[in-house]
Amino acid sequence: MSGSELLPKKEANVLKGHEGAVLAARFNRDGNYCLSCGKDRTIRLWNPYRGIHIKTYKSHGREVRDVHVTPDNSKLCSCGGDRQVFYWDVSTGHVIRKFRGHDSEVNAVKFNHHAAVVVSAGYDRSVRAWDCRSHSTEPIQACCLFFYSVMSLCLTQSEILAGSVDGSVRTFDIRLGREISDNLGQPVNCVSLSNDGNCVLAGCLDSTLRLLDRTTGELLQEYKGHTCKSYKTDCCLTNSDAHVVSGSEDGSVFFWDLVDASVISSFRAHSSVVTSVSYHPIDCCMITSSVDGTIRVWNASNSCEVGREYLQTQTVVTKGMTESNYPELKRLERRFWGCRPSLAHLQPPQRDMSCVSNSDQRLWPWLKESCASSMAFLVRFGMSRQRRLRWWWFLYF
Amino acid sequence: MDSDEEDFVFFGTPIEREEEATLSRKKKSAAEAAGQLRTLPAWKQEVRDEEGRRRFHGAFTGGFSAGYYNSVGSKEGWTPQSFTSSRKKRAEVKEQNIFSFLDDDEKTEMESHSLATSLQFDTFGFTAAEIARKQAEKEQKKRSSVIPGSVPDEILIPAANSIGVKLLLKMGWRHGRSIKDSRASSLYDTRREARKALLAFSYDESKPATELDPEDNEDETVKRFEDNQIRASQCTPVFVLNPKQDMHGLGFDPFKHAPEFRERKRLRLSGNLEHGQTKSASVKGSLFSSKSGKAAPGFGIGALEELDMEDEDIYTSAEIGAICTDDRSYKEGKRDANDNGVVSELKGAKVSCFPTSTVFRTLLLDKFNPPVVPTDFEPHHKFSASLETEKKLACPPPPEVLPPEDNNLRVMIDGFATLVARCGKLFEDLSREKNKTNPLFSFLSGGNGHDYYERKLWEEQQKHGDKIKHPLNLKSMQRVERMTAESRGKILGERPLERSSKDSSAPVASTDAIQLQFNLSDTFTKPTSMNEFVEAAKPFKDDPAKQDRFERFLKEKNQGGLRSTNSAGSSNLSEVDRARERLDFEAAAEAIEKGKRAQSSKRQSEQQFKDILAANAKFTSGGQEPAKISQLQEQIINKMYPMREEFQWRPSPILCKRFDITDPYMGKPPPLPRAKGRIDSLIFTPDFVKTTKSEETFAATRDSLLLSQSEPQDTSEQITSTDTVIESNNKNVERPVDLYKAIFSDDSDEEEPDAVANHERDLKTRSEGTASTALNRLIAGDFLESLGKELGLTLPPEPPMDIVTGVTASQKETANTSARESRIPSGNANASSGKVVNERLADQHADHDYLNHSESVQEASHRTVSPLGIDGNVRVENYPVEAKTQKVSSNADKNKTRSRQKQSSSESSDEERRGKHSKRHRKRNSSEDERNSSRSRKNRYKSASPDTDFSEDDGYREHSKKELSSKKGSSRGKSGDRKHSKRHKGITSYTESSEEDGYRGRRREESSKKSSSKGKSSDRKSSKHHSRKREDSPSIFSRDREQAEDREERTKSRDERKSSSKSNSSWKQR
């Protein structure tokens, strides 16, 4: 990202449809879609940029507290008050499996990296892992080491992080067969990993976020200013790990500087408690969900910024690609593709690119991967822009 | 088809092909069969099969319709009536009743008049039972029985009750009651609700309500009535009389299309009027009503699962206030009218309209002001003398008096005294008044035997008071640490038997009986271990009286048996206060319960418990800090957190598989239970403060040691003790090395308690932790020892060199300091293990001192040869022996100043020692190190932490480094790698085994040492050299390995553990 990162403060869309509180809203892996779940026992799939409600998943008997989607967008997992973890097929909307074993409400659920395991954390003071590949509905692992309800989960390639109301953030390292417990002394509401994986951000119920070094367990920073005393509100770090984001119980969203813990920005996002904050995996975009039943999509305040970025991309392309700046281009391209609504503000000649992609939703992930390389290829042939686009069309559609 | 047929000439009638023919007919027949056939009279009905064909059964077997309507059976079913001969068995005379002459439809008509539960709805089998009984009666009449005449019903009743009913009856259900889990606490809940309501009510009035208040009483009864209703309504729906309270037209329902608002309104109304009396119920109702509309249909909720309080919509509370209907304003208007004195009219009208008392109540509740109660009014009759035995106990005992001669009088006085002690002073006063004239009771009013009576009374009161006080004194009793029969009994919940009081010469029989009962009732109490915490935590510290009452409350709650009716302390409280207090107590008790549960987990800080108590009834999440806690405390708490702990955790193999990770515990026995299995070696919070402190003390003891060298025996022991201290301090940072010492050195320490008192304390706390680990290792240690010996035999003996150290005294001093300083912060495993190796050698060669020095020289020469100093901390290199000691000291100095980099520097120094083995490795490592040190702060920790974490021993660490480097070097083949690792396995096991050996050797060595620290510093180096030598001769090792193959298999488990941690360090560095 560029040096001075923009904060997503401009409301781009409001997703309405949930009746009652929305308990969680999450981006999918590539950030093109988002999922939400709430008190109305449904899970909803949205296109946050266009504000379209795509699908509703109904099968839960109680409120749905958390939802997560596999990296390949084929499966969902969700959990909630009915003490089960649901494993869904995204396209059909059928429940493939229900994992039973939690003795009480399930607070959080996550897929692992390969989407082979679902890990869930519940009020029954346990973290359980469920196998998606076998037909068993029994947990393959249960860690009943907590003293109170486990509120939040984070997964890395080989670790499971869980934050509990007993004040501990526990890291279960599968590779080493070791459990590291960092006791924070305050009930932990939400745990969230930094993008470099070195730090963990723990939202505590004393209205404080705490940033811990994962290797040493040292408290690096505390972030205060918001209110978080009785509701589960999420917190996370921005893509560049430069800022810390958290919702507040008064409906506002806070941004802190990572290093000096100063409140950079806070604005009232919702009329009621902000339950969840999810940051776009690539782009400067954020979704928040609230008790007031809405999900809001937040964008960088200056949409021209994205356009400028895109222009830069174009110049890079036209100037010619070399192997060395290829990753740079790719990054920019991803950035460009990741943020679609802002493209509407672009000038006409640049918009045609977006038209291409708008036409077919299915090609998106693939397109993003191939886009940069193909452009580079075409550039090397010294084609004009129009011709290049046409070729591009030809090659890929 | 038609064109084809034209070409052919057909002769005869074609045989009808079934497929074709049936096609059209099938439909027709199907339609017929479905509709018409039934309507036709029986003789017109034609039976066809599903194909629509009539089936010909044969001319003599029924033609087209054989059997009963083309079926096999008959009208009666499968079995046709069989022929019964009337020869033997006469045709029985059937009992005739009206039904036998009636047609079917007539019968049904008849039956429709009789009222009975149809079998379909006969849930509890009452009707079935009745039928069965009738049947049995009927049969009984027919049957010829032994008992002539009809057997009465009482004797023979068929078992008609279903098993479910039986079970329910067993569980306490009775006919006509609802099948609800009749919890024991339901009554309690009701009372609690009532109390709450009373409280709320009294708040409304803002005046203390009294028990005698008629309104109150009425309220109570109403409530009770309502409770009953609720209970009844669980069985059958009760018609609820809904009085018209609004001004809408008849039948108009403003909430017709918005039922959720009705609920809101009701909530608010009930909030206004009854204040939470029926809140729970209404909330439940609201849940159902609101959810039914908008919630998605859900499967998986069992019928038995009720939406309980936890399912309350916690988020909606904010929204309720937003909705406001005109109803509100209407109410306000009413209130205004109330003020203006229009009330009376309204009242009258309403009373006439709604005679129901409840309605009256709800409507006019806020209209009446309660009667004014005088402020000095007490709701209870107060006795002039209460049962305050404690006070009595305080006054000095009257003098001992001989009992009067008259035996009768004596017995009477005794009995009377006991009674008075039991019933209070009042009894005495009463009887005194009553028996004024009776000469027998003259002792009461100062007559004969008055003194004796006084004395006796005092004694009895003492006894009685003891009894009362006893349960309250539990806490003080617990100070007695010795486990006696009494204390054990107390813990188990037995009430200790009252010792027969010596002084009471002739206890009255009646008293005895009472006492026995009293004892019996108290025999089964909750064990004190349960009460213990309760006693410890005093939630009402600031109000001792209240605390006292609270304790009594707890006692009553926990204790079974008879309750003492005297609520002495609370009797002076008003009813409302008492109710409030009781609620408080309940909440506090609950909190304590919870806290106790939490207490079982040691890590639960008391802080949170306090929070719970502070929050009292309202359990907000524990974020709130009570205001009492000062800033300082907060800081301390903040310093305390975050605490890091590490445990062993065993992921299931399948989990590892799914995460694409090799199982770190593959092929190992299941881990030890958590309670035991805290691995000391993995606690790695580097406690710098403590280390430096111990350094200082070490120096101090060393000084004293230098002074008192005249007693070699003692000093050597001192050294051992001080060594252990440091070792145990270091244990914080690393694996506990001095296992034997940790266990056995206590004895030697006790001999010198003054000199090392401080260390003792430290040591004790530490050694406790290490002892468990040590024990674990002891088992493995014995085996490894033998293995090490075996391996050691193959070693080529070191050539003894006649080089005596030419180190001057000053140099010795520097060596001392350097050894000390370098050992404490960084030496860790290297120093100790190295020493150990050396000491193992010392075992072999008696002349160990000699050897040490020779080796140190050798080591030095080694060092000079090798190019060192890659790391920034160690700049001094290529120095002769004298300079080297300085180098180490300078290194240590740097360590002191830059404590952060201590770990990395030590690591690097390790590395340079290691470096000679493989230059390539070293270079990679060092470059890695440099990179590490130049990284950001976070990364620096990273590079440092694995060192601190997993510094198991030298060989291991080296191994991990190599592993890392070999991973980095992609060109290198795997086979070589494996060879390396194998060699290292041997090394590690060797070093470990030699450790064990070394403990024995060290004592001897140290006793004869002239300068222990000097020796140690050189020890370390030489040991380094040794281990390296061993590495350099893999062939020898491999030969031995074959010999000790079976043993190695056993060590493998150890090695694997190491390799797991090794992979961790390498992984982390990546």
Neighbours of B312 (CB within 10 A): 15
For the four alpha carbons of B874, B880, B881 and B885, in that order, the dihedral sign comes to: negative
Chain A from 371 to 390: CB within 8 A of any B CB: none
Q: Which residues contact A185 (CB under 8 A, 6 or more apart)?
A: A167, B605, B607, B637, B640, B641, B642, B643
pLDDT at A109: 93
Are B335 and B343 in contact by the 8 Å Cβ rule? The answer is no
Chain B residue numbers with beta carbons less than 8 Å from the beta carbon of A61 are: 298-301
The gap from C-alpha B169 to its chain's centroid, in whole angstroms, comes to 35
Nearest to A58 among B297, B640, B648 (CB): B297
Contact: B622, A187; criterion CB under 8 Å: yes
Per-residue tokens: B553: 């409350």
Chain A residue numbers with beta carbons less than 8 Å from the beta carbon of B655 are: 117, 129, 140-141, 174
- Decide: helix, strand or coil at residue A155: strand
pLDDT at A66: 92
- Decide: helix, strand or coil at residue A117: strand
Phi, psi of B274 (to 5 degrees): -100, -15
Biggest CA-to-CA distance, chain B: 151
**Rounded Cα distance, B727 and B1016, in Å:** 14
ipTM above 0.95, yes or no: no
CA separation (Å) from A72 to A31, A115, A157, A203, B340?
Answer: 12, 9, 16, 29, 73
What is the length of chain B?
1070
Short-list A103, A5, A4, A22, CA closest to A288: A22
Nearest to A174 among B299, B648, B659 (CB): B659
Partner residues linked to A142 by β-bridges = A128
Quick check: A210 contacting B, CB < 8 Å?
yes
Average confidence (pLDDT) over A278-298:
88
From the CA atom positions of chain B, what is the Rg in Å? 48
CA separation (Å) from A376 to A329, A337, A353, A369, B635?
Answer: 9, 16, 15, 12, 58
How many angstroms away from the CA of A380 is the closest CA of chain B? 34
Nearest to B623 among A131, A143, A207 (CB): A207
Burial (CB count <10 Å: 0-12, 13-18, 19+), residue A10:
middle
- Decide: helix, strand or coil at residue B703: helix
Domain ranges of chain B: 1-73, 102-175, 389-615
Domain ranges of chain A: 8-300, 303-396
Chain B residue numbers with beta carbons less than 8 Å from the beta carbon of A58 are: 296-298
**Rounded Cα distance, A140 and A131, in Å:** 6
Chain A from 306 to 365: CB within 8 A of any B CB: none
Nearest CA in chain B to A100: B300
Contact: A175, B650; criterion CB under 8 Å: no
What is the length of chain A?
397
Pairing of strands A127-131, A139-143: antiparallel
DSSP class of B667: T
Partner residues linked to A79 by β-bridges = A66, A85
Are B196 and B277 in contact by the 8 Å Cβ rule? The answer is yes
Extract the residue ranges of chain B whose pLDDT is less than 50: 1-2, 182-184, 204-235, 274-302, 306-310, 317-366, 385-394, 469, 471-481, 500-536, 560-561, 564-570, 601-629, 675-737, 746-758, 765, 793-1044, 1060-1070
Helix (H) or strand (E) holding A329: helix A326-338
Contact: A114, B660; criterion CB under 8 Å: yes
DSSP class of A58: E
**Rounded Cα distance, B517 and B502, in Å:** 20
Short-list B863, B888, B890, CA closest to B878: B863
Higher pLDDT, A212 or B791: A212
Nearest to B318 among A157, A172, A272 (CB): A272
DSSP string, B596-618: HHHHTSTTS-HHHHHHHHHHTT-
Per-residue tokens: A192: 């969230």
Phi, psi of A204 (to 5 degrees): -105, 160
Packing angle of the helix pair B954-968, B828-844 (nearest 10 deg): 120
Fold of A8-300: Methylamine Dehydrogenase; Chain H (2.130.10)
DSSP string, B988-1055: HHHHHHHHHHHHHHHHHHHHH-SSHHHHHHHHHHHHHHHHHHHHH-HHHHHHHHHHTHHHHHHHHHHH
How many angstroms away from the CA of A266 is the closest CA of chain B? 22
Are B1051 and B787 in contact by the 8 Å Cβ rule? The answer is yes
Using one digit for the tens of pLDDT, what is the confidence trace for B197-234?
766 655 544 444 344 444 444 444 444 444 444 444 44
Residue B642 preceded by cis peptide, ω within 30: yes
Chain A residue numbers with beta carbons less than 8 Å from the beta carbon of B645 are: 180-181, 183
Three-point CA angle B596, B601, B603, nearest 5°: 115
Spell B921-935 as b/e; 16+ CB within 10 A means b.
bbebbbebbeebbee
Partner residues linked to A255 by β-bridges = A245, A265
For the four alpha carbons of B594, B597, B600 and B604, in that order, the dihedral sign comes to: negative
**Rounded Cα distance, B831 and B858, in Å:** 17
**Rounded Cα distance, B176 and B161, in Å:** 15
The gap from C-alpha B920 to its chain's centroid, in whole angstroms, comes to 54
Nearest to B661 among A158, A198, A230 (CB): A158
DSSP class of B708: T
Chain B residue numbers with beta carbons less than 8 Å from the beta carbon of A187 are: 621-623
For the four alpha carbons of B458, B460, B465 and B471, in that order, the dihedral sign comes to: positive
**Rounded Cα distance, B280 and A183, in Å:** 37
- Decide: helix, strand or coil at residue A154: strand
Per-residue tokens: A195: 């993008």
Describe the strand order of the beta sheet including A235-237 as a list of residue ranges.
A235-237, A243-247, A252-257, A263-268
**Rounded Cα distance, B359 and B736, in Å:** 79
Are A35 and A48 in contact by the 8 Å Cβ rule? The answer is no
Contact: B647, A179; criterion CB under 8 Å: yes
pLDDT at A108: 92
Using one digit for the tens of pLDDT, what is the confidence trace for B43-87?
676 767 777 777 777 777 667 766 666 666 666 666 656 676 777
**Rounded Cα distance, B839 and B820, in Å:** 18
pLDDT at A1: 40
Higher pLDDT, B793 or A128: A128
Nearest to A215 among B314, B649, B945 (CB): B945
Are B361 and B332 in contact by the 8 Å Cβ rule? The answer is no
Q: Which residues contact B879 (CB under 8 A, 6 or more apart)?
A: B863, B864, B886, B887
Short-list A221, A250, A223, A245, CA closest to A234: A245
Are B127 and B162 in contact by the 8 Å Cβ rule? The answer is no
Average confidence (pLDDT) over A284-304:
81
How many angstroms away from the CA of A390 is the closest CA of chain B? 43
Partner residues linked to A85 by β-bridges = A79, A99
Are B726 and B763 in contact by the 8 Å Cβ rule? The answer is no
For residue B3, give the amino acid letter.
Answer: S
- Across the A:B interface, residue pairs with CB atoms under 8 Å apart total 202
For the four alpha carbons of A130, A134, A135 and A141, in that order, the dihedral sign comes to: negative
Burial (CB count <10 Å: 0-12, 13-18, 19+), residue A171:
buried
Neighbours of B276 (CB within 10 A): 14
Three-point CA angle A164, A110, A257, nearest 5°: 65
Per-residue tokens: B181: 């889990």
